[in-house]
Amino acid sequence: MRYGRSAAVAVTGILALTACGGSDGADSGAASSGKPRIKLVINGGLGDKSFFDSAYEGLKKAEKDLGYELKVVELGSDRTKWEPGFEDAASADDYDILAAGTFEVTEYIGELAPQFPDKKFWLFDAPVDYSGKNGACSNKCENVYSVTFKQNEGGYLAGFLAEKLVAAKSLKGAESLKKVGVMPGVKIPVIEDFVVGFRAGFKDAGGKNSDVLVQYVGGDKPFGDPAKGKEISTSMYGQGAALVWPVAGLSGLGTFESAVTAKRYTFGVDSDQYQTLTDQAQKNTVVTSILKNVGTALYKAAQADQKDSLKYGAVDTVGLAEDAVGYVDDDHFRELVPEKTRNEVQEAADKVKSGSVTVPSAF
């Protein structure tokens, strides 16, 4: 017991020393520049070719164009390290704005924001509980800006386009197929929102709900198991899917491989995956990517914050109308998709933007 306590004291001391050392070093660096400092804390890692990479790109652009200073902390995929990781990141005095994303960190931000009232927090892809009813947000999180995305609108366009493509038999080598597949990582609201939107778009374009195959990756690493992603996609192509849309981070890389083997098609997600993929055969399978411009939203937040016009203490919800969600319309898209279909998709997008079509949501 005695040894245990002294060991604990020693460990705490070492941690305190390293923590101080870390923040001191960063402080002196920042004091000289005087720029607003953003710390992006990622509950996972960069290199996902979609969600976090997009956030990083947006903030890097803010660093370059707007004169911010950016620091990135990657906490890795081990969930047990997230809470202490956020506590460490928030309590080190080496930032002005702490940016973090996904619904999984809302609790941490809700608890940390009141403890550091002179810091700003940006939370993307999920809102904190501003009511403060569940323990967190004791200061009503008035120093937290949350931005959420209408990914259901992106999903809607994906579903709409998918049905139009199979109905017009315009996908070479898959003319006889009517089915399409969606491969989400897990069944959580923010991911399910894509799926709900997809189904609605598919139906509005004239498709049957039973022609939409949906299969979740699940398991230990739903967003990081490409082998399982490939197995699932192969199975969906085997069941007659003309295209599969992975909404599952790195697991989706397996889909692009199986599409090459099956000689079928895919949609990308979050980032323009035609650009992020390197293999030409895989690129060719990507009809379009459904963008969720996390980076653009963060860049806009950075712009607004400089003009003191960013709304703290509230949720900002952005979608097609704000260009925060959309689809890629590039040469490859125009090559694969006939003009008539392109116009129809554009019309559908305009209807959603104007509000004459309301897309159902998983929230």
Q: Which residues bind another protein (CB under 8 A)?
A: 45-49, 74, 77, 181, 187, 213-216, 218-221, 224-228, 230-232, 234-236, 238-239, 250, 253-254, 257, 277-279
Shortest spacing between CB 186 and another protein, in angstroms: 8
- Cα separations in angstroms, 170 against 162, 166, 340: 10, 7, 11
Q: How far is the CB of 237 from another protein (least distance, A)?
A: 10
Query: Parallel, antiparallel, or unpaired: how do β-strands 325-327 and 286-292 relate?
Result: antiparallel
- By beta-carbon proximity to another protein, the closer residue of 47 and 173 is 47
Q: b vs e for 306-340, b when ≥16 Cβ sit within 10 Å of the residue's Cβ?
A: eeeebeeeeebebbbebebbbbbeeeebeebbeee
Q: Which is nearer to another protein, 163 or 322 (CB)?
A: 163
Residue among 8 and 227 whose Cβ is closer to another protein: 227
Shortest distance in whole angstroms from residue 8 CB to another protein: 19
Nearer to another protein, 90 or 182 (CB): 182
Nearest 5°: phi and psi at 309?
-105, 5
Residue 278 Cβ vs another protein, minimum distance, rounded to whole Å? 5
For the CB of residue 111, give the shortest distance to another protein in the complex, in Å. 28
How far apart are the C-alpha atoms of 237 and 235, rounded to whole Å? Answer: 6
Amino acid identity at 142: E
CB-wise, 14 or 281, nearer to another protein?
281
From CA 56, how far away is CA 40, in angstroms rounded?
8
C-alpha span between 270 and 276 (Å, rounded): 11
CA distance 201 to 290: 13
> Considering the complex, what minimum distance in angstroms separates the CB of residue 56 from another protein?
10
C-alpha distances in Å from residue 308, one per residue of 64, 95, 109, 139 = 19, 18, 21, 20
Nearer to another protein by Cβ, of 110 and 181: the residue is: 181
